Amino acid sequence: FGIHYGFPPLASGIQWTLDEGPAFEKGEYSIDEFWHEASARLPMPASDFAVFRKLWGDILFRNEEVLACMQALRRRPQTALIMVSNIDELRMGFVLDELGLGEVMHTQVGSYESGVDFKGPGVSTMWQKARALATQHLGVEPQTIVGIDDLPGNLERASQDETLTHAIAFQGAKPLREELTRLGLLPAHS
């Protein structure tokens, strides 16, 4: 922000984005509504949405090794890749467009969507929706559903209610490849 504008954002604007970010992740704000409020509070010119989008997605980065794993999975017959994430719609777009996941995922499910959640009591509706989308894409119920997340707690409910057949705590590209290979989903490297 400071590099682009030459001055830091207002602390109250930053605090507002931190306070309201979880509501944005749940879909309580549209992208336009969140941008309108954030741009007024930071302050940023209304014409600088592209700058805001890049700043908002700045905590995320492209990982070529992970992309290679996902590309290898996508090439498998009878495989559907569904991105499931508890991020807001703006960051989801950034991840798909700028980080390359849009090229390998068949579709996505986000916590901002109506009727889905990943915490709270009961079943993991985000993972259930992903399972339904995979079934729709494949034309049959998948035998294997693997959830991957850097926060293992995000996979607990889906593992407990058996929506997932396997849960992988993401700790880097190499351990991910090793675990996917152990599960027989990726070939062993020679």
Q: What is the tens place of the pLDDT at every residue in 54-66?
A: 888 777 788 899 9
Higher pLDDT, 90 or 115: 90
pLDDT at 190: 41
In whole angstroms, give the CA distance from residue 65 to residue 106: 19
pLDDT at 123: 61
**What is the pTM for the complete model shown?**
0.76
- Least Cα distance to 165 among 141, 189, 186 occurs for 141
Inform me whether the pLDDT recorded for 28 exceeds 50: yes
Cα dihedral 58, 152, 139, 178, rounded to 10, equals: 90
pLDDT at 183: 95
pLDDT at 167: 93
Q: What is the tens place of the pLDDT at every residue in 146-178?
A: 999 888 888 888 888 888 999 999 998 999 999
pLDDT at 70: 95
Beta strand extents in the chain (DSSP E only) = 82-85, 107-110, 146-149, 166-169
Inform me whether the pLDDT recorded for 179 exceeds 60: yes
Report the pLDDT averaged over residues 33-58.
88
pLDDT at 27: 87
Domains of the chain as residue ranges with CATH: 2-56 (no CATH), 64-182 (3.40.50.1000)
